[in-house]
Amino acid sequence: MRYAVVIEQAETNFSAWVPDLPGCVATGATVDEAVSEIREAIRFHIEGLREDGLPVPPPSIRVADVEVAA
């Protein structure tokens, strides 16, 4: 599965969250670290849903980088 991940810069680190998986969040000192951490958080989140007998939401969010002239 391929989920969209939002990565935001905070004051001292980066946070990542998954719109299709409410509550699935992670942080990292760098973007690469945040991506690595959210990958693990997604696995853990899905595992927890399955263990609890809950449905795993399919990826539905689509993202695109859009360039806009200033």
Domain ranges of the chain: 6-51
pLDDT of 56 reads 97
CB 31, CB 7: distance < 8 Å: yes
Mind listing the pLDDT tens digit for each residue in 49-63? Answer: 999 999 999 999 999
d(CA 57, CA 55): 6
Q: Tell me, what's the pLDDT at 70?
A: 84
Strands (E), the chain: 6-9, 14-17, 25-28
DSSP state of 62: -
Q: Is 21 exposed, middle or buried (CB count within 10 Å of its CB: 0-12, 13-18, 19+)?
A: buried
Ranges of the chain whose pLDDT falls below 50: none
